[in-house]
Amino acid sequence: MDQHTDIYGVIGHPLTHSLSPIMQNAAFVEKGLNAIYLAFDTENVEDALKGMRALGLKGMSVTIPHKSSVIPLLDQVDDPAKQIGAVNTIVNDRGRLIGYNTDAFGALEALKEKTQVFGKTCLILGAGGAARAIGYILKKQGADLTLANRSRVRGEELANFLECPFIPLEKVADVQVDLLIQTTSVGMYPNNNESIVPSDALNPVTVVMDIVYNPIETKLLTTAKDLGCVTVNGLGMFIRQGAEQFKLWTGLEAPFETMRSVVEEALRKAE
C-alpha cells in the first residue's frame, strides 16, 4: 500500500459479521490491484457520504440499515435501484456518486445456475428489501409471482408493487410452484433450527432457494434436499452481488472462485 492505494469499503450498522472485506480484499489481491476494502461501522450515513466525497473513496457497499436512506444523498441512481428503492453499491465516478443495486442481479445469477426463470411459477416468502429486489428482477425475467408474508399489510403492499397475488404465510402449503424463494431472516444463525416452511408444503419438483447464507445449508434447504428438491443456498447470491460490485468498481471480471472459497472458508471456520 502506498499513496496511490484505492480505498473501498462497506457502510452499515452493525457490521460485526460482514464477510465483504474478506471477499473483496481477496479479489483485489488475486487481480493484483493496489486497493483495499474496509468495514466502516456507522449509523450516520450522511456524514459517511460526505467523508467518501472528501477523501475520494472509490467505491462503497451499503448495507442494513442504509440501503434506502442513502438514495437522496447520491448524484445519480440507476433505474433498477430506483425502482427497487434500495442501493447496495456506490461508485465514485470522478467525484459523482452513482448508486446501483447488485442484490437483485446476484440472486438471479445464483438461481440461473440451477434453473430457468422465464414462465416459471414462483412463490416469494417475505416482504422486506430482499424480497422487493428479488421480486422486481424475477418479474422482469417473466416469472409468474405469488407473495407470502407474515404481516398482511406489508405483504399486500409489496404484492401491489409487483402486481402479483398475496397469500398469508399459513396458506403456503396450498400452492404448488416451480420455484420457492425464502427471503426472510428465519433460519439464520443462531436460530439454525427454524424454518418458515412446513415440510408438507414442499414438493420434490420445486426448486428451493434460501437467501440466508449463515449457515450455508439452512434447515429449509436440508428438508428440501431430503425430499429430493433442487436447492440454491444464499452463498451464491452473496458472492454474485459482490462480484458485480467488483466489476462496477474496477471494470474487471471478478475472480469468482477465489471470492467463493474465502467466504466459504470463513463461514466453515465460524461454524
Q: Are strands 89-93 and 144-149 parallel, antiparallel or unpaired?
A: unpaired
Residue 102 C-alpha cell reads as 447488485
By beta-carbon proximity to ligand ATR, the closer residue of 92 and 149 is 149
Residue 155 CB, shortest distance to ligand ATR, in Å, is 7
Q: Which amino acid is at 77?
A: V
Which residues contact ligand ATR by CB under 6 A?
A: 126-131, 149-151, 154, 183-186, 196
- The three-class DSSP label of residue 254 is coil
By beta-carbon proximity to ligand ATR, the closer residue of 29 and 71 is 71
Strand (E) positions, the chain? 6-12, 35-41, 59-62, 76-77, 89-93, 96-100, 121-125, 144-149, 166-168, 179-182, 207-210, 231-232
Residue 64 CB, shortest distance to ligand ATR, in Å, is 6
Considering 50, 58, 67, 269, which one is annotated as catalytic? 67
Q: What does the alpha-carbon distance between residue 202 and residue 177 come to, in Å, rounded to a whole number?
A: 9
Do residues 148 and 125 touch, judged by C-beta distance below 8 A?
yes
By beta-carbon proximity to ligand ATR, the closer residue of 186 and 207 is 186
Residue 144 C-alpha cell reads as 409468474
Active-site residue, 67 included: yes
By beta-carbon proximity to ligand ATR, the closer residue of 12 and 126 is 126
Do residues 166 and 142 touch, judged by C-beta distance below 8 A?
no
Q: Which residue is nearest to ligand ATR (CB)?
A: 128
Residue 176 CB, shortest distance to ligand ATR, in Å, is 21
Residue 142 CB, shortest distance to ligand ATR, in Å, is 23
Active site residue ranges: 67
